[in-house]
């Protein structure tokens, strides 16, 4: 047994490795060791969730953003972006269609759009919860004040996704404009957890300037923070950003990290992301990135319920798969992908298992 396989087993047994040892594992694994980790992670996920994949209905309701993050296609400096905002009635129509398909979780994702004040967000959450009281509402709308988060929670929002991006202040500063600080991002995550949200953090794999030591710091942060959800996907450049010429994160690194995260967090809700499917779409005789993500330990996918006329404009990165599909096509495609590898798509709330 190799030294890295021993490290992987120790992680699966709940041992917390030191930063140097984690960095060594991340920087030196072989294809065989990645498969070893995937097998263990898949067994771990199956023990916890069976062969079930939670489906979440994603609604990308605005692509306006006041921030200027260097990696993001909807950053405020991108004058080529075709901006849109969905009306509350449109969002509710998406939920109605999704509910009819069996969805019991809706994920409202958007840029940090000043138009969507706390009051407008609260009204939207209240409307969804009133019409669909048996559904969970997840928000992914960025950094807010503790008071804003409190209002969203009291309106009925159940979960909140906010990737921390990196646990290194120096690395964070290389990905964001000066007005955005890691200290505030971590404050937001702490507030969300304290207010009772099922809280998600996460990173981009292969983001510019990222090192194995950075990812080791991320793993140690997540081990301490104990999120209910962890979003991990590859960095993919967008042609209208300063990082347009940077290399994307790799399929292999992303899959390996998904497995490591599953072993360190057996109960966590772990998506196989659209970005993972984008860098490896698959084909008639090859598995796609999302399928490989599930086989590496992921247990969540998020079919896009957004209308066709807006989804092609919510482009955080280039060549996003499914941006031209109808919602029914997105859902059917993911159902077929799950079934092809022996998994059952389930559309219940799929809350974090507390016990």
Q: Is the pLDDT of residue 329 over 90?
A: no
Percentage above 90 pLDDT, the chain: 88
User: Average of pLDDT values for 285-313?
Assistant: 93
If you average pLDDT over every residue of the chain, what do you get?
A: 96
* Between 265 and 329, the higher pLDDT residue: 265
User: Average of pLDDT values for 8-23?
Assistant: 97
pLDDT tens column, 42-53: 999 999 999 999
User: Average of pLDDT values for 35-47?
Assistant: 98
The 3-class secondary structure across the chain, one letter per residue, is CCHHHHHHHHHHCCCCCCHHHHHHHHHHCCHHHHHHHHHHHHHHHHHHHCCEEEECEEEEEECCCCCCCCCCCCCCCCCCCCCCECCHHHHHHHHHHHHHCCCCEEEEEECCCCCCCHHHHHHHHHHHHHHCCCCEEEEECCCCCHHHHHHHHHHCCCEEECCCECCCHHHHHHHCCCCCCHHHHHHHHHHHHHCCCEEEEEEEECCCCCCHHHHHHHHHHHHHHCCCEEEEEECCCCCCCCCCCCCCCCHHHHHHHHHHHHHHCCCCECECCHHHHHHCCCECCECCHHHHHHHCCCCEECCECCCHHHHCCCCCCCCCCCCCCCHHHHHHHHHHHHHHCCCEEECCCCCCCCC
Distance between CA atoms of residues 313 and 292, nearest Å:
27
Q: Model-level pTM?
A: 0.96
Rg of the chain over Cα atoms, rounded to whole angstroms, equals 19
pLDDT tens column, 139-182: 999 999 999 999 999 999 999 999 999 999 999 999 999 999 99
Distance between CA atoms of residues 292 and 290, nearest Å:
5
Distance between CA atoms of residues 199 and 160, nearest Å:
5
pLDDT tens column, 193-251: 999 999 999 999 999 999 999 999 999 999 999 999 999 999 999 999 999 999 999 99
8 Å CB contact between 215 and 174: no
Distance between CA atoms of residues 101 and 57, nearest Å:
10
User: Average of pLDDT values for 282-299?
Assistant: 93
Percentage above 70 pLDDT, the chain: 100
pLDDT of 310 reads 86
Q: Please report how many Cα atoms fall inside a 13 Å half-sphere around the Cα of residue 121, on the Cβ side.
A: 29
Q: Is the pLDDT of residue 22 over 50?
A: yes
pLDDT tens column, 50-88: 999 999 999 999 999 999 999 999 999 999 999 999 999
Distance between CA atoms of residues 174 and 208, nearest Å:
8
8 Å CB contact between 246 and 237: yes
* Sheet containing 300-301, strands listed edge to edge, beginning at the edge strand earlier in sequence: 300-301, 52-55, 344-346
Position 355 confidence tier, pLDDT thresholds 50, 70, 90: very low
Which range, of 123-137, 259-273, 284-298, 315-329, averages the lowest pLDDT? 315-329
User: Average of pLDDT values for 124-152?
Assistant: 98
């Amino acid at each position: 047994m190799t030294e890295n396989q021993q490290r992987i087993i120790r992680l699966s047994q709940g041992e917390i490795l030191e930063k140097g040892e984690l960095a060594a594992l991340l920087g030196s694994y072989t294809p065989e060791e990645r498969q070893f980790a995937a097998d263990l992670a898949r067994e771990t996920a199956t023990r916890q969730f069976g062969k079930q994949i939670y489906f979440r209905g994603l609604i990308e309701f605005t692509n306006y953003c006041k921030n200027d993050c260097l990696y993001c296609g909807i950053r405020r400096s991108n004058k080529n972006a075709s901006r849109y905002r969905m009306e509350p009635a449109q969002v509710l129509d998406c939920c109605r269609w999704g509910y009819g398909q069996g969805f019991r979780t809706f994920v409202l994702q958007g840029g940090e759009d000043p138009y969507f004040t706390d009051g407008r967000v609260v009204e939207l959450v209240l409307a969804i919860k009133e019409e669909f009281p048996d559904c969970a509402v997840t928000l992914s709308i960025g950094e807010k004040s503790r008071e804003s988060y409190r209002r969203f929670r009291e309106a009925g929002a159940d979960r909140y996704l906010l990737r921390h991006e990196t646990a290194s202040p120096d690395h964070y500063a290389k990905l964001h404009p000066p007005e955005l600080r890691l200290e505030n991002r971590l404050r937001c995550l702490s507030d969300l957890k304290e207010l009772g949200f099922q809280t998600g953090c996460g990173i981009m794999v292969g983001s510019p300037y990222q090192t194995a030591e950075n990812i080791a710091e991320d793993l140690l942060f997540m081990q301490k923070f104990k999120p209910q959800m962890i979003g991990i996907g590859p960095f993919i450049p967008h042609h209208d950003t300063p990082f347009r010429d940077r290399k994307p994160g790799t399929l292999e690194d992303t899959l390996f990290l998904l497995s490591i995260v599953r072993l360190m967090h057996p109960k966590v809700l772990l998506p196989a992301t659209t970005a993972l499917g984008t860098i490896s779409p698959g084909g008639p005789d090859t598995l796609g990135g999302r399928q490989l993500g599930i086989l590496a330990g992921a247990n969540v996918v998020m079919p896009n319920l957004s209308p066709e006329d807006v989804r092609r404009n919510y482009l955080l990165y280039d060549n996003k798969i499914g941006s031209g599909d109808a919602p029914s096509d997105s859902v059917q495609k993911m159902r077929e992908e799950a079934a092809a590898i022996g998994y059952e798509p389930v559309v219940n709330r799929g809350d974090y298992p507390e016990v």
